[in-house]
Amino acid sequence: MTTGEGVLDSPTNWVAEHINRYVDTDGAEGHEWRPGVFTLLLTTRGRRSGALRRTALIYGRVGDAYAVVASQGGAPQHPAWYLNLLADPQVQVQVGADRFTARARTATPEEKARLWPTMTAIWPAYDDYQAKTDRDIPVVLVERD
């Protein structure tokens, strides 16, 4: 899997703009999305289309891994990027200027119990999102190859 040409970014204009600035500036613009809130770019392979899909996600550090939350704002269904990585956990990641391949996996219930407070400290709205939906919002660990 490679990033760059052929990668389809989110169709939402401000998200696509954020991703494009992030890529174009090697993360100098966009890595710190809001004060103290950092994002990474995750590229998955579409489970049906096979196309590469890139999205920007808030992250937390967990040792050498990165934690991201498949919240989709508390929507009743999982986000497409999460469903894509369930089908193919091999992903591309960009954190600032650092680009690398990784494997993504859903945190175990025990890991999620430890990680959820860390992630809600970064983005408190995750608790609101979980309250809005009946689905268990997954925490995903992205581990460098």
**Given phi > 0 = left and psi -120 to 50 = alpha, else beta, which region is 17?**
alpha
pLDDT score recorded for residue 13 = 79
In the chain, the percentage of residues whose pLDDT exceeds 70 is 92
**Within-domain flag for 39:** yes
**Within-domain flag for 52:** yes
**Within-domain flag for 98:** yes
List, in sequence order, every residue forming a beta bridge with 99; answer none if it has no partner: 94
* pTM reported for the whole predicted model: 0.90
- Evaluate if residue 4 carries a pLDDT over 70: no
**Within-domain flag for 95:** yes
**Within-domain flag for 93:** yes
Phi, psi of 144 (to 5 degrees): -60, 140
**Within-domain flag for 12:** yes
Alpha carbon distances (Å) from 76 to 62, 71, 85, 127: 27, 9, 18, 15
Q: Number of structural domains, the chain?
A: 1
User: Cα angle at 15 between 10 and 20, to 5 degrees?
Assistant: 90
In the chain, the percentage of residues whose pLDDT exceeds 90 is 88
**Within-domain flag for 2:** no
Structural element, H or E, at residue 111: helix 109-122
Q: Which of 102, 44, 32, 51 is nearest to 70 (CA)?
A: 44
- CATH number assigned to the domain comprising residue 83: 2.30.110.10
Average pLDDT, the chain: 92
The tens digit of pLDDT for each residue in 39-57 reads 999 999 999 999 999 999 9
**Within-domain flag for 1:** no
The boundaries of the domain holding residue 58 are 7-144
Query: The tokens 């990033």 sit on which residue?
Result: 3
pLDDT score recorded for residue 12 = 62
The tens digit of pLDDT for each residue in 69-118 reads 999 999 999 999 999 999 999 999 999 999 999 999 999 999 999 999 99
